[in-house]
Amino acid sequence: MKTDHINVIGAGLAGCEAAYQLAKRGIKVHLYEMKPEKKSPAHSYDGFAELVCSNSLRARNIENAVGLLKEEMRLLDSLIMKAADATEVPAGGALAVNRYEFSDYITEAIKNDPNITVIYKEITDLSELEGITIVATGPLTSDGLFKDISSRISEGYLHFFDAAAPIVTGESIDFSKVYMGSRYDKGDDDYINCPMTRRQFDTFYRALVTAECAEVKDFEKHGVFEGCMPVEVMAKRGYETLLYGPCKPVGLEFEDGTRPFAVVQLRKEDDEGRTYNIVGFQTHLKFPEQKRVFRLIPGLENAEFTRLGVMHRNTYINSPKLLDRFYRLKENDEVYFAGQITGVEGYVESTASGLYAAISAYQQFNGKEPEVLGNESAIGALAAYVSGSRSFNFQPQNINFSIMAEPEKNYHSKKEKREQIVAHALKAVNDYIEHTEVI
């Protein structure tokens, strides 16, 4: 049914991006958000686009796939990228933000847009809404809505467990035992590095693998997505696993050139360094165990925790069976999905899906079939992967160069290949902008 507006459910990253992209094109938007009346187990802040697991949007470098994805989104005037660039905090080669200022920036932009009407209401039945609807309720979609969604789709759904890392106060860190620096000196001294000798790491490792975990229903049955592996689960895979992961010392040498046996990094949560995230230390240990084990890290003996690690169920649909290239439901072309509920993994990828779904919905709203953004671009390749993966066991996916169109083989090195991928991607996005007149 044709309406005078498009519905967006969920004011997370994907939902806010979708609402903004529609509104800037003159489309009236009804944005439904269940906060602050109801929050998921992982959310605590009342603002929109709340970052839960980390404050990092990952690599800046455009020759990194996620760096390229961010640049494509900037070309398409992404609200989320504007907010990130305006509220960034030092993080070496990564783009990290002050998570509260980031949320406030987006919340203000959405609330002040005359084309967006925010409706504070939990949607539990899609039939409540008429016209084109973008479902951007995230991996923590409320039980009521997900039951309704699962009743409408023949392929059912999948789910996995996700974990968040602890945050400590800067004033509780013993700076006499740590040193500042970014890996391979990329960026300023944006990270606190907690070095370990082999003996210290042995003590920490034994405590970590024997610590008591919180109970998680169906945890062993359904497993954990590799990209958010709890540190204790990772450690149980083998003694050296952490040394090649979050405790990797390579590129973090001391001033005299020697290398610690292991290093735990802390990343700023704010410009002033009041709080720090323990990088890569997602966990579902019991709270007292987290304090006991993580205070074995040099420099954190007296750490004060502003947030302990938590674990929660993340849910996503079987998108290759259900969605087309525009994140649109094959069985009902008035329903789009966006964000991590589609099986894209990561803040940036979630935002990109919301952006592309919104532009496609805008074209459909105006009586046109959406234009395909090709696999030469990161945005288009991500949409193609989510809708067309042939994997029997579909898993959430970060953007990476392997899912993008290969350039012709007129390159002589990996560096040249990536440079060509980047050039082709940016050209594809600019051509898409010019051809579809979407800006």
Q: For the segment 357-386, what is each residue's pLDDT rounded down to a tens digit?
A: 999 999 999 999 999 999 999 999 999 989
Residues 6+ apart with CB under 8 A from 196: 204, 247, 260, 261, 262, 263, 264, 297, 298
Exposed, middle or buried, 115 (CB in 10 Å: 0-12/13-18/19+)?
middle
Summarised one tens digit per residue, pLDDT across range 294-338 is 999 999 999 999 888 877 777 888 898 999 999 999 999 999 999
Residue 401 banded pLDDT, cuts 50, 70, 90: confident
Residues 6+ apart with CB under 8 A from 377: 72, 404, 425, 428, 429, 432
The residue that leads in pLDDT, 142 or 103, is: 103
Average pLDDT, the chain: 89
As a whole number of angstroms, the distance between CA 76 and CA 430 comes to: 9
Check pLDDT > 60 for residue 438. Answer: no
Q: Tell me what pLDDT residue 46 has.
A: 80
Higher pLDDT, 87 or 149: 87
The reported pLDDT for the residue numbered 392 is 61
pLDDT of residue 220: 39
C-alpha to C-alpha distance for 87 and 62, rounded to whole angstroms:
20
**Does residue 36 have a cis bond before it (omega within 30 degrees)?**
yes
What are the tokens at 391? 């994997």
Between CA 87 and CA 85 the distance in angstroms is: 6
Q: What share of the chain is helix, strand, coil (3-state, %, to 5)?
A: 40, 20, 45
pLDDT per residue as tens digits for the range 162-219? 778 898 989 899 999 999 998 887 767 779 999 999 999 999 999 999 999 887 554 3
Helix (H, G, I), strand (E, B) or coil at 96: strand
In sequence order, the 6+-apart residues with CB closer than 8 A to the CB of 236 are 209
pLDDT band at 221 (very low <50, low <70, confident <90, very high): very low
Calculate ∠ Cα 324-330-334, nearest 5°: 100
Contacts 24+ apart (CB under 8 A), 417-425: 418/63, 419/63, 421/68, 422/62, 422/63, 422/68, 424/376, 425/68, 425/72, 425/376, 425/377, 425/378
- Residue given tokens 């994805």 in the structure block: 69
For the segment(s) 5-160+313-436, the CATH number from 3.40.1190.20, 3.40.50.970, 3.50.50.60, 1.10.3720.10 is 3.50.50.60
Lowest-confidence region among 47-51, 114-118, 256-260, 315-319 = 315-319
Q: What span, in angstroms and rounded, lies between the C-alpha atoms of 385 and 144? A: 28
| CB 102 within 8 Å of CB 52 | no
pLDDT at 153: 81
- Higher-confidence position of 313 and 33: 33
- CATH assignment of 167-309? 2.40.30
Domains of the chain by residue range: 5-160+313-436, 167-309
